[in-house]
Amino acid sequence: MADENRPKLPNFLLSVKLKYVKLGYHYLITHAMYLFLIPLLCLSLLHMSTLTLQDLAHLWNHLKFNLVTVILGSTLIIFLATLYFMSRPRKVYLVNFSCFKPEDARMCTREIFMERSAQAGTFSEENLSFQKKILERSGLGQKSYFPEAIMQVPPNPCMAEARKEAEMVMFGAIDGLLEKTGVKAKDIGILIVNCSLFNPTPSLSAMVVNHYKLRGNILSYNLGGMGCSAGLISIDLAKQLLQVHPNSYALVVSMENITLNWYFGNNRSMLVSNCLFRMGGAAILLSNRSSDRRRSKYQLIHTIRTHKGADDKCYSCVFQEEDETKRIGVALSKDLMAVAGEALKTNITTLGPLVLPMSEQILFFATLVARKIFKMNIKPYIPDFKLAFEHFCIHAGGRAVLDELEKNLDLSEWHMEPSRMTLYRFGNTSSSSLWYELAYTEAKGRIRRGNRTWQIAFGSGFKCNSAVWRALRTIDPSKEKSPWIDEIDDYPVHVPKVTQIVS
């Protein structure tokens, strides 16, 4: 597959639709009451600061004989204070997170991947060559991980092995998280587990409840079939639940399962996922307790969710089905890149008014109105998202998407480094890849207090979701435990566009 023939994302920042800008400004306007009251409060305080003792004495004497005025004024103050505290959303903190790092025995080089694919005996020579070409251009390195059932000769995909993989990943990530935070399992009030393709009975969330003996009134959710963006859907769900359940901890577990979802057929649209997806998972602890702010790493500022499933082309571009030999696989449509671009455009346009500096918003909006309403032939203004965020965690779904996003968002190699190195070291770990990327940024010592990080992911459906975090403290990598710490000095590495696999 030559690079010039590779599908590309549309330049979504050059073709923005006004309805998505309106949606973004709608989010902003919902807080207009506070924006209006704050200046009035400041003016009132400024005026009061000019009053003398004689003025205050005169005011007191006046109020003593105007009981109705006092009652009405007090009622108004109480009403406004109650309205403010009742409508103010609870702050959501990310206490800590943990990414699972499999043992070295699960490591799979590119050569081992091709060797096991050939030994499976189900792929034609043409499709073995096809997988080799995909892998050589994938951006994956030599240290990604596969479950034991797939590495065996012959492979042994079965329910028991799939459960074994799920337990290894989930419990490994959760154990690391509980060790980091010191939180007891009994203190967790909300549990959300997402895994797109493996949904056993009892559920994965029930598996966690059983293993850690979580309390009987826990709010437990198991999200399936929601693709690689399900991790941020879980974060958004946790945020909504934390708004109505005070003094709570929410545990989010994001993973994918490889064992039962390795494709053994010869449909090329289904073979691509074999070459990209690898074993991994993450556990994240969120809190709405004000007492946790001092020890938390980040505060959740925004979550924006975009769903394009109403469009048939978007709905079917990532589709699990049987091939002509009745083997189940996930087919990737040729329209995938175009669909991803539309979803990204919608999500980014909605997010822009919430995060961009006012100067960028004015330039962007004025240019947009001139082009869309007054039909002026002027060059569109592309907002600089680097002014809104210091760090970017873009789902490491594949090299092609990362290349196109780097170009469309005008990002530097430094901004893309966490995503590219995560793809190289761990492969596409589905919904958990964003957390390996954030762990990379921390391990490099780049997170400073007040820094803003933008996580963006997309997946089947078709969905695109964003989360914005603000660092509450500077992260000292020497005090962190993560899958990168022991080898962070080896990165970044140069990743050639084509890496030849020696047969």
**pLDDT tens by residue, 302-352:** 999 999 999 999 999 999 999 999 999 999 998 888 898 889 888 988 888
Rg (CA), the chain: 26
Q: Please, which residues have CB within 8 angstroms of residue 425's CB and are 6 or more apart in sequence?
A: 141, 143, 144, 436, 484, 491
Q: How far apart (Å, rounded) are the C-alpha atoms in residues 381 and 341?
A: 18
Yes or no: say if 224 and 190 are a contact pair by the CB < 8 Å rule: no
Q: How many domains would you assign to the chain?
A: 1
279 in any annotated domain: yes
The residue assigned the tokens 């879980």 is: 234
29 in any annotated domain: no
**Does 4 have pLDDT greater than 50?**
no
pLDDT score recorded for residue 3: 47
- Residue 265: Cβ within 10 Å count: 18
| 335 CB-contact burial (10 Å; exposed 0-12 / middle 13-18 / buried 19+) | middle
The closest of 173, 198, 167, 175 to 277, measured between CA atoms, is 198
What would the mean pLDDT of 40-52 be, rounded to a whole number?
71
pLDDT score recorded for residue 14: 53
Q: How far apart (Å, rounded) are the C-alpha atoms in residues 251 and 209?
A: 11
28 in any annotated domain: no
Q: Please, which residues have CB within 8 angstroms of residue 379's CB and are 6 or more apart in sequence?
A: 367
Q: Which of 282-291, 370-379, 455-464 has the lowest mean pLDDT?
A: 370-379
What pTM does this model have? 0.85
Name the active-site residue from 99, 266, 307, 393.
307
What range does the domain containing 263 cover? 92-490
167 in any annotated domain: yes
What would the mean pLDDT of 441-446 be, rounded to a whole number?
97
Q: How far apart (Å, rounded) are the C-alpha atoms in residues 298 and 287?
A: 11
**Does 35 have pLDDT greater than 60?**
no
Q: Is 498 helix (H, G, I), strand (E, B) or coil?
A: coil
Yes or no: say if 271 and 127 are a contact pair by the CB < 8 Å rule: yes
Yes or no: say if 236 and 463 are a contact pair by the CB < 8 Å rule: no
Q: How far apart (Å, rounded) are the C-alpha atoms in residues 354 and 21?
A: 11
Amino acid at 122: T
- Could you tell me which residue, 101 or 38, shows the higher pLDDT? 101
What would the mean pLDDT of 93-119 be, rounded to a whole number?
96
CATH classification of the domain holding 231: 3.40.47.10
pLDDT score recorded for residue 380: 65
Q: How far is CA 21 from the centre of its chain?
A: 22
**Does 1 have pLDDT greater than 50?**
no
Q: Categorize the per-residue pLDDT at 2 as very low, low, confident or very high, splitting at 50, 70 and 90.
A: very low
Name the active-site residue from 96, 257, 302, 395.
395
Yes or no: say if 110 and 499 are a contact pair by the CB < 8 Å rule: yes
Q: How far apart (Å, rounded) are the C-alpha atoms in residues 417 and 234?
A: 25
Q: How far is CA 502 from the centre of its chain?
A: 36
Cα end-to-end distance, the chain, whole Å: 19
For the ranges 119-123, 286-290, 348-352, 355-359, the maximum mean pLDDT occurs at 286-290
Q: How far apart (Å, rounded) are the C-alpha atoms in residues 202 and 166?
A: 13
What would the mean pLDDT of 67-93 be, rounded to a whole number?
72
Q: How far apart (Å, rounded) are the C-alpha atoms in residues 143 and 444?
A: 19
What would the mean pLDDT of 378-384 be, rounded to a whole number?
73
172 in any annotated domain: yes
Q: Is 122 helix (H, G, I), strand (E, B) or coil?
A: coil
pLDDT score recorded for residue 502: 78
Going by the DSSP 8-state scheme, the letter that residue 428 receives in this structure is: B
The closest of 188, 216, 193 to 203, measured between CA atoms, is 193
pLDDT score recorded for residue 369: 80
The closest of 319, 316, 326, 317 to 266, measured between CA atoms, is 326
Cis-peptide into 496, omega within 30 deg: no
Going by the DSSP 8-state scheme, the letter that residue 189 receives in this structure is: E
Amino acid at 500: Q
Question: Where is 272: in which H helix or E strand?
Answer: helix 268-276
Biggest CA–CA distance in the chain, Å, is 97
Query: 3-state SS string over 305-320?
Result: EEECCCCHHHHCCEEE
Q: Which of 53-62, 87-96, 484-493 has the lowest mean pLDDT?
A: 53-62
- Please count the residues of the chain: 503
| Bridge partners, 455 (sequence order) | 393, 467
The closest of 97, 165, 180 to 434, measured between CA atoms, is 97
Say whether 391 is catalytic: yes
Q: Which of 24-33, 250-259, 280-289, 395-404 has the lowest mean pLDDT?
A: 24-33
Q: Please, which residues have CB within 8 angstroms of residue 195's CB and are 6 or more apart in sequence?
A: 166, 204, 223, 224, 230, 255, 256, 257
9 in any annotated domain: no
352 in any annotated domain: yes
**Does 83 have pLDDT greater than 80?**
no
Name the active-site residue from 428, 451, 464, 465.
428
Q: What is the mean pLDDT of the chain?
A: 88
What would the mean pLDDT of 234-261 be, rounded to a whole number?
96
Q: How far apart (Å, rounded) are the C-alpha atoms in residues 377 and 276?
A: 43
pLDDT score recorded for residue 69: 64
Say whether 307 is catalytic: yes
193 in any annotated domain: yes
Name the active-site residue from 195, 228, 275, 464.
228
